[in-house]
Chains A and B, each alone.
Chain A
Amino acid sequence: EVQLVESGGVVVQPGGSLRLSCAASGFTFDDYTMHWVRQAPGKGLEWVSLISWDGGSTYYADSVKGRFTISRDNSKNSLYLQMNSLRTEDTALYYCAKGMITFGGVDYWGQGTLVTVSS
């Protein structure tokens, strides 16, 4: 059974930093692209970032480029999101999601971890 479990969400002040983690199990982690997606309270989904199977390619939404860094440790079956220079508008539930072998597909999602940026 595929499982994705996010952690690391807390309350942080504007300008602060945070690292989110996603622990993956039930599939061969290093075969798949992984994504971070966020959802602000009461709002829609926003794609945040993607990392290739080997970590060699990373892509970001314009809203987080230069502030967030996606990474992975395939030896630990883990995905990370380093978030710097946090803004109040970064407040959201952050999901990790698994890509598919078929290009462009996204199949499994975690339950999310809540990040609140507030003074």
Chain B
Amino acid sequence: QTVVTQEPSLTVSPGGTVTLTCASSTGAVTSGYYPNWFQQKPGQAPRALIYSTSNKHSWTPARFSGSLLGGKAALTLSGVQPEDEAEYYCLLYYGGAQLRVFGTGTKVTVL
């Protein structure tokens, strides 16, 4: 069974920078996994932030950026705002079986 692993929790100060990662149990994550990133706040539906590794949606704030880092997909938040406190999930595509798998999620606390 494929597992996609994220940091369980990260804490960042307002105005600071934090990087979340997304690792696959099958090996290095590449652009062919078409990583997506989503933000979810309590009681709300997920909101899309990033698709295909680094592309932003029209509503994605400029302080969010996606990349590949050391064999993982990464989401970097620069100049963190209090409203960025949320759970963040990555989503990877596994082409062989045309499956998608969500990461375990990272809870970001702004403190």
Contacts and interface: CB of A to CB of B under 8 A. Distances in A.
Interface of A: 35, 37, 44-47, 50, 57, 59, 61-62, 95, 97, 100, 102-112
A62 B1 contact: yes
A47 B91 contact: yes
B89 A109 contact: no
Interface of B: 1, 34, 36, 38, 40, 45-48, 51-52, 55, 57, 87, 89, 91, 93, 97-105
Contacts of B100: 35, 47, 50
A59 B52 contact: no
Contacts of A107: 48, 51, 57
Contacts of B102: 37, 44-47
Contact of B51 (A59, A61, A102): A102
A76 B55 CA distance: 31
A111 B45 contact: yes
A106 B48 contact: yes
Nearest to B33: A104
B55 to A, nearest CB: 7
Contacts of B91: 45, 47, 106
Contact of A100 (B51, B93, B105): B51
A57 B52 CA distance: 21
A104 B46 CA distance: 17
A94 B81 CA distance: 30
Contacts of B104: 44
A108 B48 contact: yes
A35 B49 CA distance: 17
Contact of B99 (A47, A97, A103): A47
